[in-house]
Structure 1
Amino acid sequence: MKDGIKSFLVYILISYVVLDLFEAGIKVPESPLYLLATLAVLVIAMLMACPLLNFLTIKCQFLTYFLMSTLLLFGALYMLKLFMVDFYIEEFVFEGIEFGSILIKNLVFTPLISIALCSVILSFTTAIFRELDVK
């Protein structure tokens, strides 16, 4: 029970930080109640990954957890986009960046690309935390 509550709180923090990274494309609700509900939906989707993998008789390891939570988060973010009040995923333009000889030009992120990228980063971060938190 203690581990479940700890995971829930840490996943809420990770979700908030990752959603804050996508500030230009993903607008989270300003109301604390709706924000908490949005984060709770995302965390519940992440916490469902291992039981769902166990139900499918697949071992819950780093790669399988990462893939399953990516799929679940993609669906959860898409449903939040459709039904959550004051939660918007909009198209945005990533201005180019240059690292020495590496040049990345302007990129346009559609809402589906934003959802996919956010779910991959969020599930990767939680999968790393989950692997490092093993006793």
Structure 2
Amino acid sequence: MHKKVIVEITTYKSIYDAWNVFINPDYITQWNYASDSWCCPTAINDFVIHGTFSYLMQSKDKKHGFTFSGKYISIIEQREIVYELDDGRIVQVDFIQEGDKVIVRETFDAEKSNPIEIQRTGWQSILNRYKMVLERM
């Protein structure tokens, strides 16, 4: 059984914008990496139930990289995305409207090879970058 880890951001952008920046490959390549020494040169996203996604995450010097990929299990427009990573872990992304703010919350199954806190920090850094891109719109 995997431990569940939660990260989130709050924004005052519309839920429509929050959703669009999260699923659109043109935006994904701008935010889907944890530090300034990395990038996401390509993002392919077949955003339908049973559709697949594949994001190349790579160091800017191109010495390290990996593909972050999986398939969509559930999509509730502007509310929830659930996907399964290629290694079988589940990720749920909730878009929660609270008055004039939107909370984007990711709950993911931790992998077993890295400490939980390192995983939480990495996923939070990516979500913080997502928020920066979203709020530049």
More helix by share: 1
| TM-score, length basis structure 1 | 0.38
| TM-score, length basis structure 2 | 0.38
More strand by share: 2
Give the number of the structure whose alpha-carbon radius of gyration is greater: 1
